[in-house]
Structure 1
Amino acid sequence: MDIDHEADPATRTALFEHVYRHTGIVMNERKWPMLAGRLRRRLHALALPGYPAYLRLLEERPQEIDDFIDLVTTNETSFFRTPRVWEYVAHDFLPHWHRRNAGAVLRIWSAASSSGEEAYSAAMTCEEFRSVHPAFRYSIVATDISDEILGKASRGIFQGRNIEALKASRPAFVEKYFSLGTDGYSVSAALRARVAFRKINLHQAVRAIEDVDLAMLRNVLIYFDSTGQEQVLENVRRAMKLDAVLVVGESESLSRLKTGFRFEQPLIYRNGKVAHDSGA
């Protein structure tokens, strides 16, 4: 059976509505080929005759929603993605924050952590800083909407192009923070202990995360319409300290949105309008 032929306009619209309802992500007909490709694997796995049958399954079996979310969310990431962001964190944000917050614990939130590369990049950056400033303390919470990807992230085992790219760009970090095993390169237990992974839907009110000093919300906003972007940003902002730093993705800007953030430099924003010196 050609599954694509089973996707009539009403079925496609209903599936788009499910995507929005469960993730806040807006999809339209231009996104149908991508969505269809991702769902097709699930249809085959469940031996379903077509998309209408899968739609009925979503509506009749709530436990299928988690698998649906895993399928429709994008998990593209890498270690130390956008190097200038990490230069800013290592050489600007951390020194200034540490100078102004002696004795405090830095709280970092990787808000859409995907398979964990961003969170572990933050942990490695903090460990390098701590090696020079032993009194420095930090904690990292990493969140995503997908149970499957969170499980992968928490295991901390990497193989393929992302770890190969890290070996090429920062070989000393791979030597220091990873060990090679039969399944790939494993993040050290000490580094994994610095990162707590949790399931969170950023399109809904965020609970159990607060007093964040540095929030990384990168390559997330592009999946929402302007209303959804403002809602996500407000949900994240409410978990942040006043004057805390927000980092967004290279293709993202808050300039046309109504938010509580102010521009500091490309990709970098501040929560609120408190006067401060540069950095943190």
Structure 2
Amino acid sequence: MDNEREVDQATRRAFFDQVRRHTGIAMSERKWTLLEGRLRRRVRELALPGYRDYLHVLEAKPEEVRDFIDLVTTNETSFFRTPRIWEYFAGQFLPRWFETHGGTPLRVWSAAASSGEEAYTVAMLCEEFRERHPAFRYRILATDIGDAILRKAAAAHYQGRSIEGLRQTHPDLLARYFSATDDGFVAAPALRANVTFRKHNLHEAARDIGTMDVTLLRNVLIYFDAAGQQAVLENVRRAMAPDGVLIVGESESLSRFDMGFAFEQPLIYRNEVRP
């Protein structure tokens, strides 16, 4: 099989084009080692002579695109990742929102939800808030581009580093909202009842998403070039309520975009554009 040195620039460029075509993610030459490492296993599974042959498979068999997307997208997350945003969500946003919108359900979008830890983190905080305010209602939509990762998220079964992190930071919530299994923990029905998982490409218009009060778009924009970032942000904003809150990742900022998002505090922006 081709190794890294034998893959010519045209072949590498063809793979970068396939990644952009199917995910919108922009990759450069410096990302080839990462991409090649992910592709190698699939090329071997299909018993192909080399990477060029896999390009032919991608073009000839549309069903292979699903596996390709699963391979090339990054899925790294954890419960309560970036504590400051969860302190904001539970301590500032929820009380303020409930005071002015108490009669309607809160709508939260976990965009690029990966294996679901983010969505279930939101659900835990919402359940805690509902204990103090029984009239509070909420719905969480969690989307991602990969089929395999969505199946994992919907199963709500966690083990290893993911669950150990929750045990160390929030042992009370682990005990309250997860049940032990033979090989890990599974989320309680109370959490799963209000979370819906759906496939969605952020580069496509969010026509079936609804109108969201909070959108978590964390550690996503860093994978796109400037044009791709703007396209994603425009799609996301159209699915947000007036004054809806957008939360981004630690290394992301909207300061260079003039799109109607007003800075509220680090990582947190408010939609000021009316429909």
Answer yes or no: same fold by TM over 0.5.
yes
Q: Which residue of 1 aligns with 2:20?
A: 20
Structure 1: how far apart are the matches of 2:71 and 2:154?
19
Which deviations, in whole Å up to 9, do the C-alpha atoms of 1:149-205 show, x marking residues without a partner? 000000000001111010011101010000010131000122111100000000111
Q: For 1:25-36, what aligned pairs fall within 5 Å after superposition?
A: 25-36=25-36
Instruction: Output the amino acid matched with 1:250.
Output: E
Instruction: Output the amino acid matched with 2:43.
Output: L
Q: Which residue of 1 aligns with 2:127?
A: 127
RMSD of aligned alpha carbons: 1.0
Unaligned runs of 5+ in 2: none
Task: Look up the SS of the partner of 1:130 in the other structure.
Answer: helix
1:7 Cα deviation (Å)?
Answer: 1.6
Higher mean displacement: 177-186 or 213-222? 177-186
Identity of aligned residues (%): 63
Q: Which residue of 1 aligns with 2:154?
A: 154
Instruction: Output the amino acid matched with 1:142.
Output: A
Task: Look up the SS of the partner of 1:210 in the other structure.
Answer: coil
Q: Is this contact kept in 2: 1:39–1:71, CA < 8 A? A: yes
Task: Look up the SS of the partner of 2:124 in the other structure.
Answer: helix
Q: Which residue of 2 aligns with 1:173?
A: 173
What number of residue pairs does the alignment pair up? 274
Task: Look up the SS of the partner of 1:219 in the other structure.
Answer: coil
**Does residue 270 of structure 2 align to residue 260 of structure 1?**
no
Runs of 4+ deviating beyond 3 Å: none
Instruction: Output the amino acid matched with 2:207.
Output: R
Instruction: Output the amino acid matched with 1:220.
Output: V
The two structures have a TM-score, normalised by structure 1, of 0.96
Structure 1: how far apart are the matches of 2:30 and 2:273?
39
Q: Is this contact kept in 2: 1:146–1:199, CA < 8 A? A: yes
Structure 2: how far apart are the matches of 1:106 and 1:197?
17
Q: Is this contact kept in 2: 1:262–1:273, CA < 8 A? A: no
1:5 Cα deviation (Å)?
Answer: 4.2
Structure 2: how far apart are the matches of 1:102 and 1:149?
33
Instruction: Output the amino acid matched with 1:270.
Output: R
Structure 2: how far apart are the matches of 1:114 and 1:35?
18
Instruction: Output the amino acid matched with 1:96.
Output: R
Q: Which residue of 2 aligns with 1:199?
A: 199
**Does residue 84 of structure 2 align to residue 84 of structure 1?**
yes
Instruction: Output the amino acid matched with 1:215.
Output: T
